[in-house]
Chain A
């Protein structure tokens, strides 16, 4: 059951030096830009720029490869599905049809379809490096403080911090429970018939829920005893002050975002169409 998870990777680079707030804002700006635009030129620029940032961060591809492999498989399946369900989507969007390979009727491969699907893929690629970097270069302690700083209520920010703090504990509990139930013959793998499997799943989840409810009680007592929630704001031990790099970065990302939006929407259409004229 060894499923890997992404976590903070400590390095000394300008990317790591940026405050969590800056990285959080950049991540949001970047995701929004990539979600809104469908302009191939912008997407390509975003992708290349994010690769550069990735290199600066000195994070090795091998450290995140398990995620990359998953994403590549996902994108492959997704592309197959798009083609299967709507092989002429590109023709619909770009309003022209250049058949490249003839297969059969609507499954004829058009340049428009290939171009459209490349754009879909690029749209994912443009976000992945930045998202990955945000996760592996932001110290989890700083994360909640950053959320609070950009306007999320500190109570909800702290809920996020608690989730990050207790994931390993819950995972350990779950493993213990699953193993001890398995030792009594309660199995939820393929070896059992489906209805039994589902019932067994409930037998494994139920102790986890009860012990989590106990945990909720203990933790809320502990937090209450240490004065959580007494006033409308709180400070954060692990928040870091803004430095010049933060301002510069935010400015650059702001400019990129505005430019991207202007280029994308100046003609009233979020798609870049190389086929017209």
Chain B
């Protein structure tokens, strides 16, 4: 990768983004109705950062955030799943231009586009890449890893679909400049 294309702001966004990703993964998991599983809010955040800062930032936040979190929390890195976080961040980031969140407009059309992109990105990552790598590296049984991927994928799609959309809508609102503010008595 040619480093010259990365602005300082993007680099800082990757660093801080990875730190926030880690903290959300560790502390901001919402308990879900399925026992022993939780809704990972960190992927909703990853989606937001990818849309705001683009595919390279999205991919690297996923890669660095997930790898560092594995390392400092579990003492080893599950590269097969780390790769998925990277791919998801990267693919969602590809839609950044089209969504143009800085314009402050996040209408129904954009919400639908965002969700189609995130479902495709996560489907590719969780349903294909993660199981394929698990089989390749660990020779784990195919049916087991596909079911795992299916479960992780669906729950993350729902999370990003709900929380991610909420966050993007909130972010878009902060970007809209209202020049016509008047004091109402």
User: Across the interface, do A155 and B44 meet the contact criterion of CB distance under 8 Å?
Assistant: no
Given known pairs A201-B30, A209-B48, A209-B167, the reply for A166 and B75 (CB within 8 Å) is: no
Answer yes or no: B100 CB below 8 A from chain A CBs: no
Name the interface size band of chain B. Answer: 35 or more
A contact residues, range: 35 or more
| Distance A266 CA – B11 CA, assembled complex (angstroms) | 44
A160 adjacent to B139 (CB under 8 Å): no
Pick from A6, A85, A164: contact of B141, CB below 8 A.
A85
- Candidate in A3, A174, A228 with the most chain B CB atoms within 10 angstroms: A174
A93 contacts partner chain B, Cβ-Cβ < 8 Å: yes
* Interchain CB contact under 8 A, B76 and A124: yes
A240 proximal to B (CB < 8 A):
no
Q: Which residues of B contact A81 (CB under 8 A)?
A: 144, 148
Main secondary structure of the interface of A (DSSP, over half): helix
What are the residues of chain B within 8 A of A170 when measuring CB–CB?
A: 16, 19-20, 22-23
A167 and B11 in contact (CB under 8 A), knowing A70-B74, A86-B143, A174-B28? Answer: no
Q: Which of B60-68, B116-124, B176-184 contacts A (4 or more CB under 8 A)?
A: B60-68
Closest residue to A5 on the B side, CB-wise?
B72
The A183-214 residues at the B interface (CB cut-off 8 A) are: 188-190, 194, 197-199, 201-202, 204-206, 208-210, 212
Query: Which one of B3, B19, B142 contacts A162 once the chains associate, using CB atoms below 8 Å?
Result: B19
Given contacts A163-B22, A229-B8, contact A171 B27 (CB under 8 A): yes
Q: Is the CB of B170 within 8 A of A208?
A: no
| A248 sits at the interface (CB 8 A) | no
Bound Cα distance from A167 to B65, whole angstroms = 10
Assembly CA distance A190 to B32 (angstroms): 8
Interchain nearest-CB distance for A115 vs B (Å): 13
Q: How far is the CA of A209 from the CA of B16 in the complex (A)?
A: 10
Contact A202 B170 (CB under 8 A): yes
- Considering only residues 130-185 of chain B, those with a C-beta below 8 Å from chain A are 137-144, 147-148, 162-163, 166-167, 170-171, 174
- A93 touches which one: B4, B79, B139, B148 (CB < 8 A)? B139
Instruction: Flag whether B18 is at the interface (Cβ < 8 A).
Output: yes
Question: Bound complex: CA of A159 vs CA of B39, how far in Å?
Answer: 27
> Besides A5-B26, A159-B64, A229-B8, 7 other CB < 8 A contacts?
A3-B73, A31-B77, A198-B163, A201-B39, A201-B163, A220-B11, A271-B139
